Amino acid sequence: MKHAKHLMPLFVPLLLSACAEATVLEARAVGARDAATRGGAVPLLEVLSPDASIRVEVSLGAEAPTYRIDRLGRDVILPSKLGFVFKEGGALAPALKIASSSRAAFDETWTQPWGEKKDIRNHYHELRIDFEETTARPRRMTVTFRVFDDGVGFRYEIPAQERIGAFEIMDELTEFALAGNYAAWWIPAFQPDRFEYLYQRSRVEDLGIVHTPLTMEAGDDLALSIHEAALYDWASMTLENRGKYRLKAVLVPWSDGVLVRGTAPHRSPWRTIQIAEDPGALITSYLILNLNEPNALGDVSWVRPSKYVGIWWAMHLGISTWSSGPKHGATTAHTKRYIDFAARHGIPRVLVEGWNIGWDTDWTAKEDNFKFSTPYPDFDIEEIARYGAERGVRLIGHHETGGDVSNYERQMNTAFEFCNRYGIDAVKTGYVRWGQGISRVDETGAVRKEWHHGQYMVRHYQAVVEEAARHKVGINVHEPIKDTGIRRTWPNMMSREGARGMEYNAWGGNGGNPPEHETILPFTRLLSGPMDFTPGIFGLLFGDIRPANRVNTTLAKQLALYVVIYSPLQMAADLPGNYDNNLAAFKFIEDVPVDWQDTKVLHAKIGDYITIVRQDRNSDEWYLGSITDESGRTLEAPLDFLAPGVKYVAEIYRDAEGTDWEENPLAIEITRRIAESSDALKLRLAPGGGQAIRFRPAAAEERGDISPLDK
């Protein structure tokens, strides 16, 4: 299996200017003065962000090297350990010295082929430190810090050396010693449902072992999130509370307890700390993308962001089945009906689940179950592909592995060749495995169970992305490894699940996702990257089908989610019949893009409300999405993001008077007004509600026929 570290370009331009050199010297002087004032040891090395707001200091501690971070003179991370413990040779500590160091500054603006923002500035100051043991036969380790105006990334490198060849890491010493008992939003790690838990809010002192991104607030003027970037051939990182607000990296192990296996030279993912004045600025931080390498695929015009519909929601409601039989969803006739609906409404793709052999047994327990190029007899793939092509609609493939990774890897090349044969240029993969772990066959032929997020699966997920790229297929992963920004390098890695999505409303405990859920996701899970949340349910109440469940939002909030929750693949997830019954509201789903020029956050309070506006990449239109939790509220949105001097038609989809997610969720009011950049709009959000707006430049004949915006 090839790994990305062998294929990724090693392009790291180093542009050290006289200005940057002066900044570094100033940082060292200020750092020394501040350390003396605090009564601590003078740091050995310091580096500032380009705007000098964030500073990193590195020292040799008594037990291990340490780093600390402050922002505008305020402590964010107190001295925190760095390093590893190897199976052979033990820890690279405490007998270390700094053998050498180097500095660099870098500033570029690069263009995403698709994304939530087209042009991204990548501007940082870098400090690279070579540590060496003070022993007769020293081992070496390099730590590189990149300091941005919006946070810090650091990673380890184990260089080629005589003392370390093949290695096994038993512990990573990395710490994040927080400067206070911050408010934190988190989900537990090492649990059977992976990332699919409701976020909880607590103080840092009450955390156990949690997943990243871990987002925190320290009062009204500091927000931060800890995560990682460029996760390749390493175990994913969780965080464990070790007391006194100190979080330690805990890597997800192999089945035998080893954390990371490798051969020098080898490097870790970046450990990231995004830092902002308010939580909304975390959303528009692109630090994680910037810490990934540039596009490795060249021309990726074949990677096509789009909306899609699919044979999926009916299965979660129990109306249809994945397995064959009288309720089988993935039939030729049923698929054609979805293709017809998609063609009528300009939706270019249809997802079909349950099309292939393997669903008729206990597919989460049986090994070697699924066949990825063998349809059920009632699914005529040739006829369906022909029928869709005539109407401009492609299929999205579905590869559910049932957690049997060895079975999938044996078939993977054939499976993607099958996709090429039938014009399928995007695939949704799945790794459902309840409480049993991922199955792999080791070199002895024994079946072992691995975590979804250990190094073995990190390698596997990457192998799928690379195999798909060779066949020019985009990937949407469910039950995934966490997103760490690799879409910059591998743009066919388009979207993933990795949180509680819409499906939990169909069958989840406690009646599904509570109204606050979607007001937390943008500040937590979505900081890592796009999510296939599958919004757009119009049939919010399930009646006798699922009497204990429902979708806990208003209809207008379902529309707003297309702007608030970013994905280049956005599903119109409901049954076509529910859309046919409300085509006026469905018009917003038809119109809303999935590829953006720019993104701005107008309102942001974690777990309460959020308003996001995005500019279409392919027109002069803007779209607004605003949502709230169970509390109704009114927010004022300045429209200064619109082009000055241009009149826009604001097509407004909002909660009607008296709308409430519990008692009256379906009432929606659709109006049009003329709006300008000098206007401010009052957003009235019902309890559990939202508002979605399309702003399009007004045609001349409309400007006098439509009333001005209600102020």
Tokens of 284: 């528009």
Rounded to whole angstroms, the Cα distance separating 506 from 542 reads: 8
Q: Which of 247, 264, 290 is the last residue of a domain?
A: 290
**pLDDT at position 4 over 50:** no
Is residue 503 annotated as a catalytic residue, yes or no? Answer: yes
Q: How confident is the model over 418-442, as a mean pLDDT?
A: 88
Measuring CA to CA, which residue among 633, 706, 646 is closest to residue 679? 646
**pLDDT of the residue at 30:** 41
Q: Assign 22 a pLDDT band (cuts: 50, 70, 90).
A: very low
The domain that holds 366 is classified in CATH as 3.20.20.70
**pLDDT of the residue at 11:** 27
Same-domain status, 88 and 61: yes
Same-domain status, 190 and 275: yes
**Helix (H) or strand (E) run with residue 381 in it:** helix 381-390
Task: Look up tokens 């001005």; give the residue.
Answer: 708
Same-domain status, 632 and 653: yes
Same-domain status, 469 and 509: no
Same-domain status, 305 and 286: no
Same-domain status, 58 and 84: yes
Structural domain for 629, as ranges: 503-567+575-711
Q: How confident is the model over 132-161, as a mean pLDDT?
A: 96
Same-domain status, 127 and 195: yes
Is residue 346 left, alpha or beta, with left meaning phi > 0 and alpha meaning psi from -120 to 50?
left
**pLDDT at position 319 over 80:** yes
The DSSP bridge pattern shows strands 474-477 and 447-450 to be unpaired
Catalytic position from the list 503, 516, 518, 621? 503
**Helix (H) or strand (E) run with residue 410 in it:** helix 405-421
The model's pLDDT over 173-185, given as tens digits with 9 standing for 90+, comes to: 999 999 999 999 9
Q: Which of 498, 529, 549 is the last residue of a domain?
A: 498
Segment among 156-160, 434-438, 610-614 with least mean pLDDT: 434-438
**pLDDT of the residue at 36:** 37
- Which one-letter DSSP state was computed for residue 531? B
**pLDDT of the residue at 33:** 38
**pLDDT of the residue at 42:** 45
**pLDDT at position 23 over 60:** no
DSSP string, 613-673: EEEETTSS-EEEEEEE-SS-EEEEEE-TTSPTT--EEEEEEEEPTT-BTTTBTT-EEEEEE
Rounded to whole angstroms, the Cα distance separating 386 from 384 reads: 5
Same-domain status, 27 and 89: yes
Q: Is 441 exposed, middle or buried (0-12, 13-18, 19+ CB in 10 A)?
A: middle
Same-domain status, 694 and 592: yes
Rounded to whole angstroms, the Cα distance separating 476 from 356 reads: 18
- Which one-letter DSSP state was computed for residue 526? G
Same-domain status, 18 and 136: yes
**pLDDT at position 41 over 80:** no
The domain that holds 285 is classified in CATH as 2.70.98.10
Q: Is 357 exposed, middle or buried (0-12, 13-18, 19+ CB in 10 A)?
A: middle
**pLDDT of the residue at 8:** 31
- Which one-letter DSSP state was computed for residue 517? H
Measuring CA to CA, which residue among 454, 146, 479 is closest to residue 290? 146
**pLDDT of the residue at 232:** 98
User: Phi and psi for 15 in degrees, rounded to 5?
Assistant: -115, 90
Q: Assign 435 a pLDDT band (cuts: 50, 70, 90).
A: low
**pLDDT at position 364 over 80:** no
Q: Which of 468, 498, 528 is the last residue of a domain?
A: 498
**pLDDT at position 40 over 80:** no
570 close to 577: Cβ distance less than 8 angstroms: no
The model's pLDDT over 460-476, given as tens digits with 9 standing for 90+, comes to: 999 999 999 999 999 99
The model's pLDDT over 542-555, given as tens digits with 9 standing for 90+, comes to: 999 999 999 999 99
How large a percentage of the chain has pLDDT more than 70? 93
**pLDDT of the residue at 520:** 98
Cβ neighbours of residue 526 under 8 Å, at least 6 residues apart?
Answer: 283, 565, 566
Mean pLDDT of the chain: 92
Same-domain status, 451 and 334: yes
Tokens of 670: 């659709």
Give CA separation, 117 vs 110, 122, 609, in Å: 11, 13, 22
Angle between helices 583-591 and 555-564 (to 10 degrees): 0
Same-domain status, 280 and 304: no
**pLDDT of the residue at 19:** 39
Q: How confident is the model over 606-631, as a mean pLDDT?
A: 98
Task: Tally the domains of the chain.
Answer: 3
pTM, to two decimals: 0.93
Rounded to whole angstroms, the Cα distance separating 368 from 405 reads: 9
Residue type, 666: L
**pLDDT at position 696 over 80:** yes
Q: Is 658 exposed, middle or buried (0-12, 13-18, 19+ CB in 10 A)?
A: exposed
Tokens of 408: 């999938």
**pLDDT of the residue at 34:** 44
**pLDDT at position 43 over 70:** no
